A and B are shown apart, each in its own frame.
Chain A
Amino acid sequence: MQVTLKILRYNPEKDAQPHYERYTLDAEPTDRILDVLEKIKAHEDGTLTFRRSCAHGICGSCAMRINGRNRLACKTLLQTLDTSKEITVEPILGLPRVKDLVVDMTTFFDNYKKVMPYFVNDEPLPEDGRERLQSPEERERFDDTTKCILCGACTTACPTFWADNSYVGPSAIVNAHRFIFDSRDRAAAERLKILAGESGVFRCRTAFNCTEACPREIDITKAIAEVKRAIITGRLD
């Protein structure tokens, strides 16, 4: 089977503007976009630049726009796309382009750090000095948001973030949610205060692009709505 990829290329040392280039090559329906990119890099143009590491959908390196939607290149099989037409591959939107499909994620991680995405509990350890116990129900409460791999597909699909990347973005809210609703954590109030602020959850316009984009199938908009409600009601249920 033949496929044609139309890839947005950009080399800041040579190109004034990004431009598209087309590559037609043999591929299997079970190949992933990442495999096709690797083939192009190996056989057609070694300068093609993209980010990848695990190739198994867990490191979060390979988020890109494939046919206009954010996806992981390593989780997108050709057979799930219409290969009779060209497949468009572009970098994720809203972060500065570095080269070809690589963007500068600094702002994304700065936003992530704003929400204190780590466990906070200064109380002494339990008697036995080991675990802080939690019931299965309490663990279940935030299970969905533990699955995030920080790929950035959600945040860079968000219309609010495109317009203004001081908005913390869906990914940061997902990671805040993971600790806010953890019964062992003690910093929920602080995180809610940050998220109630100017660049927090109320910038969300419920466009739902994040949830559609998430390769881990996290119900992101729901998590955001839960944080909104926690802020409004002051309750964590």
Chain B
Amino acid sequence: MSFKTASEGYVKYQGLGNWAFVLHRLTGLGVILFLAIHVVDTAFVYFAPDLYKEAIALYRSPLFGLGEILLVLSIIYHGLNGLRVIYFDMVNPNMWTIEINRKSVIWTWIITLVLWLPAAVVMGSHILEHLGG
């Protein structure tokens, strides 16, 4: 009906399927935001090399480091969940039962975490080193 109705549903509606969907949207937005920033800063190389250096310095800040760790999470989740949905939708709709769907959502979260955690540890320790040095 509207943005307001959709937001109410996103936040309040219960169920694994809804959470998987809302996360997919949020991580998608996160990735788009990163891409937009990245396109802009890369354009600086040509149009305003000084600003580019500033941008790079900004990216070295711990806050951006944290953002990058979340970015990796977003990319992994968005990609995996996207593949999950495509598989069900296009390849094997016979698997569409509540049970299999719930399990597949949980597995997607587990695999996301397994892939993300090592990256998060490596990236996190870089930030800490940077802070220490």
Contact = CB atoms under 8 A, between A and B. Distances in A.
Contacts of B6: 159, 162-163
Nearest to B18: A209
Contacts of A212: 15, 17, 98
Interface residues of A, number: 28
Contacts of B2: 163
B18 to A, nearest CB: 5
B13 A211 contact: no
B79 interface: no
A232 B31 CA distance: 29
Contact of B14 (A69, A163, A228): A69
A92 B12 CA distance: 12
A184 to B, nearest CB: 24
A23 interface: no
Interface string B13-25: 1111110111000
A226 interface: yes
B30 to A, nearest CB: 17
Nearest to A161: B1
B9 interface: yes
A67 B18 CA distance: 14
Contacts, number: 87
A93 B8 contact: yes
Contacts of B15: 68-69, 208-209, 212
Given A162-B1, A206-B89, A219 B97 contact: yes
Contacts of B1: 94-96, 162-165
A211 B96 contact: yes
Contact of B89 (A95, A157, A225): A225
Nearest to A219: B96
A163 B5 contact: yes
B3 A211 contact: no
A221 interface: yes
B109 interface: no
Contact of A159 (B10, B96, B98, B101): B10
A210 B15 CA distance: 11
Interface in B74-130: 85, 88-90, 93-94, 96-98, 101
The 7 closest A-B pairs by CB, nearest first: A208-B17, A225-B93, A222-B96, A68-B14, A207-B21, A163-B6, A162-B6
Interface of A: 65, 67-69, 93-96, 157, 159, 162-165, 205-209, 211-212, 219, 221-222, 225-226, 228-229
26 contacts: A69-B13, A93-B8, A93-B9, A94-B9, A157-B9, A157-B13, A159-B9, A159-B21, A159-B22, A162-B6, A163-B5, A206-B89, A207-B18, A208-B16, A209-B15, A209-B21, A211-B17, A211-B98, A212-B17, A212-B98, A221-B93, A221-B96, A222-B93, A222-B96, A225-B96, A228-B90
Interface of B: 1-3, 5-6, 8-10, 12-18, 20-22, 85, 88-90, 93-94, 96-98, 101
